[in-house]
Structure 1
Amino acid sequence: MSMSVGGDSSEEKPLSDINTTPLVDVMLVLLIIFLIAVPVVIQSVKLKLPDVRFDPTTTKPENVLLSVTSKPDGSCAVYWGTSPVTSKELIDRAVEKLKAEIARQGGANAAGLELPEAHIRGDVNVNWSCVGGTIYTMQMAGFARVGFISEPPPGEGVARL
């Protein structure tokens, strides 16, 4: 077996082997980083949520009661009180309601300003995008507090914490 070291080899060919050592080093470093980081990301906070089915709400005359249902063709139907409204009418009425309430309480800089809330009653079978669109519209109008009204299953009382 012979090997040429140095010498006057006139035929020098370019080296065609790829050096994979840097690639392996980078991959090992990434593997170590992911092995350390994944358990930190996967951890969750253990919670015990309240067993309350619903909490009675205090109804104020200035609050807005919205009902969301589906029409037979599958489109959304939103009711302000008992009158049906379109998306445009909903945002216009919501903005006017806020303006009137702020003016009634003495302006935007009045001390102890209490803005009305929007209470949404969504039908069980309504598409989630209908309820989500109603929430978004009310928030765009300026309602900071938007809540849901629900009913407990029949035969259950109200549980308090």
Structure 2
Amino acid sequence: MQVNGTHSRSRMVSEINVTPFVDVMLVLLIIFMVTAPLMTQGIDVKLPETAAPAIPSEKERLMVTVSKDRKVYIDDYAVDLESLGPKIAAIYQNQQGQQGVFLRADESLPYGFVVRVMGTIREAGIDQIGMVTEPLTGLTTGDLTEK
């Protein structure tokens, strides 16, 4: 029998030290918070402004974007204008019912080019084409009728 208490030191400790785990998790959280905004990529398009209200959509639709330099994208994938129709038709080939596309076009594009893209989409058999715009900033509807 030992008096100085060495017997109690030889017992195993069954507690888990969570401090290193918490430290690692906090570092990972900070890394993800810093890098997440850098991972989002998009197509730079200045949309025209309008006072029209948003149209509610119950289904997710395909997004066709035309940039300022006349490049055409299906969602985030670049396509040339000649292959736009067949690719959209292939995407919607197995879907039944109404098929729709949202079209985002830069406001500096000529009207004729935007109509050409719309015609290509229509030739692919798309029933509905929605034009994506930005809400008016600083102007009211009354300001538009006075000018």
TM-score range (shorter-chain normalised) is 0.5 to 0.7
Aligned ranges for residues 94-105 of structure 1 at < 5 Å? 94-102=88-96
Question: Which position in structure 1 is the counterpart of 2:101?
Answer: 118
In structure 1, what is the equivalent of residue 56 of structure 2? 58
Aligned partners of 2:112, 2:68: CA distance in 1, in Å? Answer: 11
- 1:89 partner amino acid: S
- TM-score (structure 1 length as normaliser): 0.50
**1:64 touches 1:81 (CA, 8 Å); kept in 2?**
yes
Measured in 2, the distance between the counterparts of 1:146 and 1:155 equals 28
1:153 to 126, 130, 136: 136
Percent of aligned pairs with the same residue? 18
Q: Match for 1:78: what amino acid?
A: V
- Which letter maps to 1:66? V
Which amino acid is the alignment partner of residue 141 of structure 1? Answer: A
Equivalent in the alignment of 1:134: 117
Offset at residue 132 of structure 1 (A): 0.7
Mark the runs of 5 or more structure 2 residues left unpaired by the alignment: 1-49, 141-147
Aligned-partner residue type, residue 92 of structure 1: P
What runs of 5+ residues in structure 1 fail to find an aligned partner?
Answer: 1-51, 103-113
Q: How many residue pairs are counted as aligned between the two chains?
A: 91
What is the root-mean-square deviation of aligned Cα atoms in Å?
A: 2.2
Q: TM-score, normalised by structure 2?
A: 0.54
Structure 1 CA distance for aligned equivalents of residues 78 and 110 of structure 2: 17
TM superposition shift of 1:87: 1.7
* Residues in 1 aligned to 2:56 and 2:99: alpha-carbon distance in whole angstroms: 12
Q: In structure 2, how many angstroms separate the alpha carbons of the residues matched to 1:69 and 1:127?
A: 12
Within 1, Cα distance between the matches of 2:56 and 2:139?
20
Larger radius of gyration: 1
Aligned to 2:65: 67
Deviation at 1:156? Answer: 6.6
1:93 equivalenced with 2:87 (yes/no): yes
